[in-house]
Every structure is written in structure tokens, then in C-alpha cells.
Copies of this chain bind each other. A is one copy, B any other.
Amino acid sequence: MIEQSRIQKNIERWISVLKENGYRITTPRKAVLEVIAESEYAITPVDIFDQGRNKIENLGLVTVYRTLEKMEELGLVLRVHQTENCQAFVAGVDGHEHILICENCGRIAYFEGDELESLTKRVAKETDFLIKDHWLQFFGLCKECQKL
């Protein structure tokens, strides 16, 4: 369970960032932010839509897509890539660049730091590429799912 304080903190931060970037804070948009902040699992646009309708009875799926687009652009959410699907999102948490996904239940954990400096140099040298970014994700089983 995510603590209430952390949910609130995320929502408030997201609202400031959206405002700073000239976006208006609307009721449907707030519903989308809440659903994402409250979820400890990676969540798809349709999931957000369904859960958002419990808050705003006539929320549109289009609004979910449009809000996600802006949030992704501002780094407020991260897209979670998996073999079968790449359309789930999680809250982006400051200072945590990478995520860890439970293959069974979809629960997400975050971690920061990596040890890829020397590998990056070696690969750049070997391939003549200029390496600008990397993408690292771990897969496994969360504490709960290990028991099954």
C-alpha cells in the first residue's frame, strides 16, 4: 500500500509542474493524476479510464490519453515496457531512474543508480556509436508473489 502522504505529495508536485508548463488544472485531469498516484501497479490508459470514472462519471478516454501524453513529456510518468505490452505507465519518482517489475502481479519498485559507465565506454569504442542514453529494467517476483 502506498502511504497517503506520498500520494498527495506526488499529486501536488505534478500539479505544480503542469501549471509551470502552462497547462490548466481541470477536474478530469485531476482524476487522472489521482488514479495514477494511487496505483502501485503499472496501469494502462483503459485502466486509468475505468478507475477515473469512479471519480468523474463522464471522464473521456481521450482525456486520459492527452493527460498521459503531457505527463510523459514532462517526465511525471514513465512508460513500462514488457514483452507483451508497452502501454502501461507508472508514476515517475524523483531520483529513481529505473524500475523493477513483478512479472506476476505487475507491482513496480524503483531503484536508482547503475554501474554502466565502463560498459558504455567499451561499447562506444567497439561500435563507433556515440552513446547518449540507456534503458534498464529489471524483471522478477515481488515479495508477495514469491510465496505463491
Q: Which residues of chain A have a CB within 8 Å of any CB of chain B? A: 79, 81, 83, 86, 100, 102-103, 109, 111, 113-116, 118-120, 123-124, 126-143, 146
Complex Cα distance, B127 from A66, in Å, reads 32
Compute how far the CA of A76 lies from the CA of B19 in the bound complex, rounded to whole angstroms: 47
**B143/A129 in contact, CB under 8 A:** yes
* Contact A135 to B100, CB < 8 A, known contacts A115-B115, A115-B119, A118-B115: no
Chain B nearest CB from A41 CB (Å) reads: 14
Hey, which chain B residues are within 8 Å of A142, CB to CB? 127-129
When C-beta atoms are compared, the residue in chain B nearest to A124 turns out to be B140
CB distance from A2 to the nearest CB of B (A): 14
Judging by beta carbons under 8 Å apart, are B137 and A123 in contact?
no
A109 cross-chain contacts in B, Cβ below 8 A:
123, 127, 129
